Structure 1
Amino acid sequence: MEMHVGVIGLGTMGKTLTESLIAEEHAVAVWDRHPEKVATTGMIGASPSVSARQVAEVSDIVFLALPNADAVREVVLDPEVGVLAGLRAGSILIDMSTASPDLAVELSDAVTARGEGRRYVDAPV
């Protein structure tokens, strides 16, 4: 079974993760708040997305590599274009951003409340 992976946040950490996933022949969808980073990553084999929601809609696992808690909240919780709006049943959201334990609890509760086997992992780097 092919694993579909999403990466949101294409700074140094997110881009390196994307490159590694592509090298291992995973299908990778990407999005960043800066469109030029999405376009550049598309040139190395990732599938560019128009929103965080779109990444979540096509991914079994979604990695977040965002710079701060405000960015994480915005990207995950936006009711129209956020990750949570598109997170598939049975998928996993892995947050590699460095943020507070309170944010991790907030996101875990939000993901769990969606039900259908959706899971959240706090994995700050």
Structure 2
Amino acid sequence: MQPAISVLGMGRMGSALAHALLKAGHPTTVWNRTPAKAAPLAAAGAEVAASVRNAVAASEVVIVNVSDYQATQSLLRDKEVAGALEGRLIIELTSGTPDGGREAHGWAQRQGARYLDGAILATPDFIGTEAGTLLVSGPSAVFEEGRNVLGALGGNVQFIGEDPGLANALDSAVLALMWGALFGALQSIAVCRAEAIDLGVLARQWTATAPVVEGLVSDLIKRSAAGRYDADAETLSSVSPHYSAFHHLVDLMEARGLDRTITGGYEAIFRRAIEAGHLHDDFASLSQFMGQPA
């Protein structure tokens, strides 16, 4: 028989997690601060707990998906709830910080519970599918214990390492990539609107350009990992042509009165690298200046 699981938090993501567990055959108990949000899960076959303590007591595994780690603490660190955690596996799937995950792991151990920290790299519609990606960190033996449960939530479960903070650290790194693309898109939209370019044209150009951008990002990561910052025969682009083209963008934005918050950050990194003598080095040389304060 599948292990019983309790899910705390019935937002869109928490509800998706509970539905996936039910589909996989796990006896599932759910709890939410607003009971009405748990009603659809009750209709799907889940038990609805009247309290967090009841939810914890009902299952061997407790999955938490609430707004932040502070919210998790307010639920689990209640004296009665904490006393019921001994012997249970806690899987924290709330977004947080690496240090938050490490602290939560230490606290769970002191309660006699086992702990895994996870980050979900998916929207709720991917939960329970082969494409659903979860990053998980914590003791490897505990990960092996929870592997089947995690597998019900997504087909691409990745164990990142023994350090409980690593899942959220990598999550933040991936989100930085995503936000870079999204804020870049917002800037592109602003330029197109200022120059009366139809956004459908921008969409077509993105489709054509995306493979080039993907190749540049992959090369940047590879060269940074190897510390290959000098320009060489395999360099795809050096700092110099990027900096020259960047100034055309800045001039356009100044002429049209567009917000320069983002480009101001680009300018600062460019200048620090160039002042350090990297104008003609590979673009990857800029990575040396992102890992230190301005």
Give me the TM-score of the superposition, normalised by structure 2: 0.39
The structure with more helix, counted as a fraction of residues: 2
After superposition, the C-alpha distances for 1:25-72 in whole angstroms (9 at most, x for unaligned) are 210011011111123321111000011221111211111111112211
Backbone CA RMSD of aligned residues: 1.5
Partner Cα distance (1:106, 1:72) in 2: 12
Shift of 1:102: 2.6
Residues in 2 aligned to 1:87 and 1:55: alpha-carbon distance in whole angstroms: 11
Is the strand fraction higher in 1 or 2?
1
Aligned residue number for residue 58 of structure 1: 58
User: Runs of 4+ in structure 1 displaced over 3 angstroms?
Assistant: none
Q: Distance in 1 between matches of 2:21 and 2:2?
A: 12
Alpha-carbon separation, structure 2, partners of 1:114 and 1:88: 6
Once the two structures are superposed, what CA deviation does each residue of 1:83-113 show, in whole Å capped at 9, x if it has no partner?
x332242x21000000122322222112111
Residue equivalent to 1:100: 97
Matches within 5 A, 1:14-25: 14-25=14-25
Q: Does the 8 Å contact 1:59/1:88 carry over to 2?
A: no
Match of 1:29 in 2: 29
**1:86 aligned partner:** 84
Structure 1 gaps, min length 5: none
Counterpart of 1:124 in structure 2 is: 119
Higher relative contact order, chain-length normalized (CA < 8 Å, sep 6+): 1
Contact 1:93-1:119 at 8 Å conserved across structures = yes
- Checking the alignment, whether the CA contact within 8 Å between 1:21 and 1:28 is kept in structure 2 is yes
Matched residues in 2 for 1:88 and 1:44: separation? 29
- Note if 1:73 corresponds to 2:42: no
The residue number in structure 1 matching 2:108 is 111
- Please say if residues 6 and 30 of structure 1, whose CA atoms lie closer than 8 Å, have aligned partners that are also in contact: yes
> Which residue in the other structure is 1:12 paired with?
12
Q: What secondary structure, in the 3-state scheme, does the structure 1 residue paired with 2:67 have? A: coil
Gapped runs of 5+ residues in structure 2? 121-294
Q: Which amino acid aligns with 2:114?
A: R
Structure 1 counterpart SS, 2:7: strand
Counterpart code for 1:121: L
